[in-house]
Amino acid sequence: MTKHYADLLGIQAPSLAAVKDSREANTFALMIVALIERGEPMTLAEIATRFGQAGVQPAFEALRSLKRCRPARPPVYRDGDMYELDVHDDELDLWLFRLGLRGPKVPRLKVVRRPPARLPGPETPLTTSEIEEAFRDANLYGWSAQRLALAVLDSHGGHMPGSKVVGVLKQLTKECFLGVESADRWRAMAVIVETDGSWRSNPDHEALRSTRKAVRDRIEKRRRWEAQGPEPALLNAYRKRTEARRAAHAAELARLNRVVLHAFPADAPRAAALIVVATREITTLVGEEMKMLPALLASFDFIAAVNVRPLLRALSFDPGTRRLADLGPPQKSYSLNQRGRTLRITTELLIQGSCGIAIPFGDPHKLRTYLDIGHGMRLRRRLESDAKSLFALYRYGRLHGAYRLRWGIVDDRLRVPWVHPDEPTLWHLIAEAMEKGLEIEIVTATPPTWDNPWARSCRCRVLGGQRSWERSLVDDDGFIVDELDVQLARFARPRSSI
């Protein structure tokens, strides 16, 4: 018995009987384990029989459970009556980790914590490092304005202008009540206001000792909380290692030789058009030329098409370990209201909503007529036009990581499973442009022309909002651009070099 899936995933072939009691095990998860255990596609009846043999549940009950668990969802794909795994799907990687079939990708790091230095008593003046540690990013609503001023003055020699005391606290804290006008309300004389407006701490006042104790108590409490949580240096190391791993994987995915395939008719193809993603080179095959198609497909690492698996089976082409992208709808329908009205999602609807192409595909009856009567040039032009529509949908999904569904009042996004989370999208491009202060060149609204896709491009700058995650694209006229309208995007050249 082959262990094809396990070999491709780089894991030991699991045992369904050993995994069935896992906390994360459910019907769908155990279905994935059964497929990896077998190493090849299976029918639902075969999976149910394996459930019965492993003691999960009786076969007849297992079959009912399998039918109800939505078995044909990533990372499982249905091809006829057979259910198979996509070993490149990121969802499968998550399931393997949940079920304990693989370890963490980032090895665990150990940090040796040094015990903090012992804090002095209330007789010793505060230091600037103690003030910074106690008040950094703190909310000090519970502290009186005079106590805050006394703490800052004590750490700075006991005498400084009131405006500088307020400035020190504003740089450290999130919010506090201290202001220059606060001195008008002080009666305890712990802080003395000089005639020139400067403030001086009273060394004989009992409030000075209690302030020192309160600041150091806050430091000790903060250190206890930080000791219970993860070490900041450890989190930073994990973040850097994760970013490096993701960047390396993204570079690996970017090197894949990709093609968009369109064939007609889909159940028994007699003509096909291929578009190489990197060069946008189009190849059209009709009739006897279709014999060349398997050899052409064999040169690509990534094949994108509508219903790609049934199509490749109809072409008698074994994709092997190649990555496949189904350009069809990621879900069959969309719920419109609570009364149960639904919208049937088609590839044409997604192309219209995402790319703005009003008529994505030609009339299939005309295409069949062209095939039958031998109008080769008309057939080739129509096939190329249909393939260009699919290429536009692929390009939009790759840029956004999702399709755009627009129908009536509906305007929503549907995530595409074939874009890996490690691959950069428009969101990452905008974030990097904002971080580096760069401009972005985009093409929006109407579909880009084939001969010169960037002919109708415009430059945009990225503006941030009140929250850290808020970003807006603004064109040269000052108008905000809807990100979902963007068809193409890249970093713009500096204006001085244009």
| Number of neighbours of residue 69 by Cβ within 10 angstroms | 15
Type of residue at 455? A
Condensed to tens digits (0 to 9), the pLDDT of residues 285-294 reads 998 999 999 9
Banded model confidence at residue 399, pLDDT cuts 50, 70, 90: very high
Banded model confidence at residue 380, pLDDT cuts 50, 70, 90: very high
Banded model confidence at residue 120, pLDDT cuts 50, 70, 90: confident
The predicted structure's pLDDT at residue 102: 87
pLDDT, averaged across the chain: 88
Condensed to tens digits (0 to 9), the pLDDT of residues 128-142 reads 999 998 888 888 778
Residue 50 has pLDDT above 90, yes or no: yes
**Non-local CB neighbours of 81 within 8 Å, separated by 6+ positions:** 43, 44
CATH 1.10.287 fits 4-98, yes or no: no
End-to-end CA distance of the chain: 62
Percent of the chain topping pLDDT 90:
50
Condensed to tens digits (0 to 9), the pLDDT of residues 281-323 reads 999 999 899 999 999 999 999 999 999 999 999 999 999 889 9
Condensed to tens digits (0 to 9), the pLDDT of residues 431-443 reads 999 989 899 999 9
**Non-local CB neighbours of 249 within 8 Å, separated by 6+ positions:** 420, 422
The predicted structure's pLDDT at residue 119: 87
- Helices (H) then strands (E): counts for the chain: 17, 19
Residue 112 has pLDDT above 70, yes or no: no
Banded model confidence at residue 496, pLDDT cuts 50, 70, 90: low
The predicted structure's pLDDT at residue 493: 87
**Non-local CB neighbours of 488 within 8 Å, separated by 6+ positions:** 395, 399, 442, 443, 448, 453, 454, 457
The predicted structure's pLDDT at residue 348: 96
Q: Are 57 and 47 in contact (CB under 8 A)?
A: no
Full-model pTM: 0.77
Distances (CA, A) of 28 to 24, 31, 80, 444: 10, 5, 19, 40
d(CA 82, CA 15) in angstroms, rounded, equals 21
Q: Tell which wins on pLDDT, 104 or 107.
A: 104
Q: Tell which wins on pLDDT, 173 or 92.
A: 92
**Non-local CB neighbours of 447 within 8 Å, separated by 6+ positions:** 355, 356, 357, 392, 487
Strand arrangement of the beta sheet that strand 271-276 belongs to: 282-286, 271-276, 258-264, 302-305, 323-326
Condensed to tens digits (0 to 9), the pLDDT of residues 239-252 reads 888 899 999 999 99
Residue 275 has pLDDT above 90, yes or no: yes
Q: Tell which wins on pLDDT, 280 or 5.
A: 280
- Mean pLDDT along residues 219-233: 80
Residue 190 has pLDDT above 80, yes or no: yes
Banded model confidence at residue 497, pLDDT cuts 50, 70, 90: low
The predicted structure's pLDDT at residue 419: 94
d(CA 166, CA 101) in angstroms, rounded, equals 56
238: left (phi over 0), alpha (psi -120 to 50) or beta: alpha
The predicted structure's pLDDT at residue 1: 40
Banded model confidence at residue 237, pLDDT cuts 50, 70, 90: confident
The predicted structure's pLDDT at residue 111: 63
User: In which element (H, E) is residue 428 found?
Assistant: helix 426-436
- Domain regions of the chain by residue span: 4-98, 128-228, 258-414, 424-497
